[in-house]
Amino acid sequence: MEGRIANGERKMNRCKGFTLIELLVVLAIVGMLLAVVAPRYFDSVERAKDAALRTDLRLLRESIEKYQADTGHLPETLEQLVQARYLRTVPIDPATDRSDTWVAVPAPDGMTPGVYDIRSGAPGAARDGTAYGSW
């Protein structure tokens, strides 16, 4: 006889799977883990963007200085640095995700033409409270 065991009781045919309570417990644990991890993740992304922006600005400024040392004058645009092979491409500003938002700063004497310094055109401030445009 099917469905019976030796002592005469019927075997229970249970469906295999998870109960609603088990699923809710797992979802609560995952939710708590996300609540702890998510802020740290987004914080590290912002720190990485700030570090990348500082590195890009340093690289651009070094390229401008090398160009000036080699040619005796400042580049007119950042594209001129690319054409003269001081840069492969104009880097993308990590704060704006665009390469056309860099702000060219003229020479302080006002008489020397060209790009003397470079700043980010991103609005807002970094994590340390300083404006991106002041770097």
Residue 28 structural domain: 20-123
Cβ pair 54, 135 in contact under 8 A: yes
> Could you tell me if residue 102 is inside a domain?
yes
> Could you tell me if residue 27 is inside a domain?
yes
Burial (CB < 10 A; 0-12, 13-18, 19+), residue 114, is: middle
> Could you tell me if residue 53 is inside a domain?
yes
> Could you tell me if residue 30 is inside a domain?
yes
Q: What is the DSSP letter of 85?
A: T
> Could you tell me if residue 75 is inside a domain?
yes
Structure confidence at residue 17 (pLDDT): 85
> Could you tell me if residue 1 is inside a domain?
no
Rg for the chain (alpha carbons), in Å?
A: 30
> Could you tell me if residue 33 is inside a domain?
yes
Which regions in the chain score pLDDT beneath 50? Answer: 1
pTM score of the predicted model? 0.73
Distance (Å) of CA 41 to CA 9, 19, 118: 56, 32, 30
- The tally of domains found in the chain comes to 1
Structure confidence at residue 127 (pLDDT): 86
Structure confidence at residue 5 (pLDDT): 58
Q: What is the rounded CA–CA span in Å between residue 80 and residue 118? A: 14
Structure confidence at residue 110 (pLDDT): 84
> Could you tell me if residue 93 is inside a domain?
yes
